[in-house]
Homo-oligomer: A and B are copies of this chain.
Amino acid sequence: MSRVYNFSAGPSALPEEVLNQAREEMLEWRDSGMSVMEMSHRGKFFSIIADELEQDLRELMAVPENYKVLFLQGGATAQFSMIPQNLLRGKTKACYVNTGAWSEKAIKDAGNYCEAVLSASSEDTRFTTIPDVAGWRVDPDAAYLHYTSNETIHGVEFQSIPDSKGLTLVSDMSSNILSRPVDIGKFGLIYAGTQKNMGPAGVTVVIVRDDLIGHAPKSVPQVFNYADQAKNGSMLNTPATYNWYLVGLVLKWLKAQGGVAAIEQRNIAKSRLLYDLVDKSSLYRNPVEVPYRSRMNVPFILVDDALDKPFLAAAEANGLFELKGHRSVGGMRASIYNAMPEAGVKALCEFMAEFERTH
On A, residues with C-beta under 8 Å from B are 1-4, 6, 8-14, 16, 19-20, 22-23, 26-28, 31-35, 37-41, 43, 73-78, 80-81, 109, 112, 193, 195, 199-202, 219-224, 236-243, 246, 319, 321-322
A240 to B247 Cα, complex, angstroms: 13
Q: Is the CB of B2 within 8 A of A33?
A: yes
Q: Which 6 A-B pairs have the closest CB atoms?
A: A202-B240, A4-B33, A37-B200, A77-B237, A23-B26, A73-B73
Could you say which of B19, B40, B73 contacts A78, with CB atoms under 8 Å apart? B73
Could you say which of B43, B112, B219, B221 contacts A8, with CB atoms under 8 Å apart? B43
**With contacts A14-B35, A14-B37, A242-B243 known, what are 11 further pairs, Cβ within 8 A?**
A4-B34, A6-B33, A8-B38, A13-B38, A16-B27, A73-B74, A73-B75, A81-B221, A81-B224, A109-B222, A240-B243
Residues in B neighbouring A1, C-beta threshold 8 A: 28, 31-33
Query: Are A14 and B38 also in contact (CB < 8 A) when A8-B43, A26-B23, A221-B80 are?
Result: yes
Q: Is the CB of B81 within 8 A of A223?
A: yes
Residues in B neighbouring A223, C-beta threshold 8 A: 74-75, 77-78, 80-81, 109
Could you say which of B11, B77, B322 contacts A241, with CB atoms under 8 Å apart? B11
A124 to B287 Cα, complex, angstroms: 69
A284 to B322 Cα, complex, angstroms: 58
Report the minimal beta-carbon distance from A216 to chain B, rounded to whole angstroms: 12
Residues in B neighbouring A12, C-beta threshold 8 A: 38, 40
A-B contact pairs, 14 of them (CB 8 A): A2-B33, A9-B40, A11-B37, A11-B238, A11-B241, A22-B26, A23-B23, A23-B27, A26-B26, A37-B246, A75-B237, A78-B237, A193-B237, A201-B238
A34 to B195 Cα, complex, angstroms: 15
